[in-house]
């Protein structure tokens, strides 16, 4: 552990296109927290194969997501970044924890229900047991805090329950992790169907803004986004669509909601949307600039990821050996 700092761990699946939902719900907080915590951020490629992926694209996306983490402000000098499949302890612990998780618990996972509805041609066992792999990601590193969006809350509760069960059965082995879910930004909604959350894997690209979307695309997507039949830029009286847009405006600009309402008091949705477009474009500009300068530096990115996985291998081995010893797997001196 670095300087006895508390540990944070979080991950993102390299599926679809990283979007402002992922940024405002998770990455933005990672960037702030990394200064005070021993921080670990994982590109969780093993999670991504619960849905079929094109191998060449998955490989490319892992590197691209890591570059986007750095472009958003994750500093490899402060934080470890690595690719999950490079550290075999994740799969190893997942197997053990499979035997400490009940079918009933997994059956209650709302994300499994949603995802299996959407993918009924491929409801594989991985999709069902995926929260156990997520618990392993967290518990392997003895994380204190897990900064995520609201959609991951249930998975975190399961991770805590599994850890407590194991600790009670043997002796304290795992730290019980706390979720870190921001008050605002934890649930950014889809631009065209604001009753559902914004998703980076949405088939309709107009539902999300990608971190790498160009100005024209952002303009078009905000223009098409759903507001209300009214015309007033008022949070309280607004429907889900308008509330979501005001929230996005506030989170990117750092301006309070009342200030935004005041700014657009005698103006309509068009002016508000123009302002919002500008705020998003300006906020994403430095991220995109950094990303484009990084993505061709393949050897630099690979070096960062190799350092990350070396560190992760060392730390995760400690936990896995402890677990193996406690459950009774023989360990011989070589």
Q: Which residues bind ligand TYM (CB under 6 A)?
A: 9-13, 21-22, 25-26, 44, 47, 134, 137-138, 146, 148-149, 151-152, 155, 186-188, 197-198
- Annotated catalytic residue within 113, 118, 153, 200: 200
Rounded least distance, CB 109 to ligand TYM, Å: 11
- Annotated catalytic residue within 115, 221, 243, 273: 115
Q: Look at the block and give the residue holding tokens 């896995």.
A: 320
Rounded least distance, CB 159 to ligand TYM, Å: 8
Q: Are 248 and 280 in contact (CB under 8 A)?
A: yes
Rounded least distance, CB 328 to ligand TYM, Å: 27
CA distance 99 to 244: 41
113 is catalytic: no
Residue 304 makes CB contacts below 8 A (sequence gap 6+) with 66, 70, 76, 81
Residue 25 or 210 having the CB closest to ligand TYM: 25
Residue 17 or 152 having the CB closest to ligand TYM: 152
Residue 303 bridge partners (DSSP): none
Residue 37 or 264 having the CB closest to ligand TYM: 37
Rounded least distance, CB 156 to ligand TYM, Å: 8
Q: What φ, ψ does residue 202 adopt, rounded to 5°?
A: -60, 135
CA distance 27 to 34: 10
200 is catalytic: yes
Both tokens of 176, joined, read 């019980």
Rounded least distance, CB 54 to ligand TYM, Å: 17
195 is catalytic: no
Residue 198 makes CB contacts below 8 A (sequence gap 6+) with 19, 20, 21, 188, 189, 190, 191, 207, 208
User: What's the sign of the alpha-carbon dihedral 126, 141, 33, 135?
Assistant: positive
Q: Which residue is nearest to ligand TYM (CB)?
A: 25
Residue 130 or 291 having the CB closest to ligand TYM: 130
Residue 152 or 277 having the CB closest to ligand TYM: 152
Q: Alpha helices, DSSP H only, in 73-124? A: 89-98, 103-107, 110-118
Q: Are 225 and 204 in contact (CB under 8 A)?
A: no
User: Known catalytic residues?
Assistant: 115, 197, 200
């Amino acid at each position: 552990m670095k300087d006895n700092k508390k540990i944070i761990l979080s991950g993102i699946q390299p599926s679809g296109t990283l979007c402002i939902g992922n940024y405002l719900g998770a990455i933005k907080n990672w960037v702030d927290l990394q200064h005070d915590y021993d921080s670990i951020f994982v590109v969780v490629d093993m999670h991504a194969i619960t849905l079929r992926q094109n191998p060449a694209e998955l490989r490319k996306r892992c590197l691209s997501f890591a570059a986007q983490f750095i472009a958003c402000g994750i500093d490899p000098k402060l934080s470890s970044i690595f690719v999950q499949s490079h550290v075999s302890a994740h799969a190893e612990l997942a197997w053990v924890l499979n035997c400490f998780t009940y079918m009933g618990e997994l059956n209650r996972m709302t994300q499994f229900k949603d995802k299996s509805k959407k993918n009924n041609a491929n409801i594989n066992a991985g999709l069902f047991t995926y929260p156990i792999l997520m618990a392993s990601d967290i518990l392997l590193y003895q994380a204190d805090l897990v900064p995520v969006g609201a959609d991951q809350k249930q998975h975190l509760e399961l991770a805590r329950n599994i850890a407590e069960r194991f600790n009670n059965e043997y002796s304290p082995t795992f730290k019980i992790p706390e979720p870190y879910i921001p008050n605002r930004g934890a649930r950014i909604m889809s631009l065209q169907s604001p009753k559902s959350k914004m998703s980076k894997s949405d088939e309709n690209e107009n539902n999300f803004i990608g971190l790498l979307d160009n100005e024209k695309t952002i303009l078009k997507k905000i223009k098409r986004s759903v507001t209300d039949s009214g015309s007033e830029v008022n949070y309280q009286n607004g429907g889900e669509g308008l509330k979501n847009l005001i929230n996005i405006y506030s989170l990117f600009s750092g301006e309070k909601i009342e200030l935004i309402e005041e700014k657009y008091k005698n103006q309509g949705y068009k002016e508000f949307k123009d302002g919002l477009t500008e705020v998003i474009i300006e906020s994403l500009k430095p991220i995109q600039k950094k990303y484009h300068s990084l993505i061709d530096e393949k050897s630099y990115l690979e070096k960062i990821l190799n350092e990350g996985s070396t560190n992760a291998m060392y730390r995760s081995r400690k936990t896995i050996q402890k677990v193996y010893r406690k459950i009774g797997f023989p360990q011989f001196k070589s």
